[in-house]
Amino acid sequence: MSVYNREINIKEVPKHIAIVMDGNGRWAKRQGFDRIFGHTNGINTVRQITEASVEIGLKYLTLYTFSTENWNRPQEEIHGIMNLLVENIEKETDSFRKNNVRLLAIGDLWRLPDDVRIKLQRCIADTSKNTGLSLVLALSYSSRWEITNAVKDIVESINKGTLRQEDITEKTISEYLTTQNMPDPDIVIRTGGDIRISNFLLWQSAYSEFFFTKTYWPEFTKDEFFEIIYEFQNRERRFGKTSEQIKSTKN
């Protein structure tokens, strides 16, 4: 029996979990295969964690699928990843419909190959009215790219006279990010053993709880996912306040 079945409080499930899916290549190398074998097996984990998210009523699951820095990888690996994206976006569309999953994407999507972008946009359109889990793929994404573009757009709005400099707040900046219609992540998980954020949701994760696991992404399980949620529910999130203030608010 998983920790979820015993301990997770369904009434206090976080709204948004973001995951850096790391370790595909190293896992494959350990098995004696090339890196694309790891990415292929990582898709099974994506499916499993998506199903787990639907099961507990999570509203947003964001997966760091391909960073802007990943364009610097060997062309053979990039080509393999893009092929996997095309195949699986097409394959999963019916499943998304049946499970009320809405697909979204953030990032510099115009850098994606045409066939990937077209199939992605088609699946996003086909699932746009679904009201369950929003599965967000961060593709050709980096937080510095996102923030840089937000600054440019804010400057443009000021120049057009639609925004005044003195009216800019943290909320304004959030509204110019690609995640403008999403809650900030409550939890950020990184698999694969490295303890770093890797240019992922830097603005949005200011008050997130971070969990780092040595488990490679292809080996990450539903049970470990649920264990992290259980631990999150037992952490005290203070948001700059004292423990006493938090307790008095709850009472």
Q: How far apart are CA 115 and CA 7, in angstroms?
A: 44
Active-site annotation holder among 34, 70, 130, 223: 70
167 is catalytic: no
User: How many CB atoms are located within 10 Å of the residue 166 CB?
Assistant: 6
Q: Residue 79: how many CA atoms within 13 Å on its side-chain side?
A: 3
Instruction: Yes or no: say if 203 and 177 are a contact pair by the CB < 8 Å rule.
Output: yes
Q: How far apart are CA 45 and CA 109, in angstroms?
A: 23
Per DSSP, what are the bridge partners of residue 199?
A: none
Question: What would the two tokens of residue 241 be?
Answer: 């306040």
Question: What would the two tokens of residue 51 be?
Answer: 């199903």
Determine whether 128 is exposed, middle or buried from the number of CB atoms within 10 Å of its CB (0-12, 13-18, 19+). exposed
Active-site annotation holder among 5, 9, 22, 159: 22
194 is catalytic: no
Catalytic residue list: 22, 70
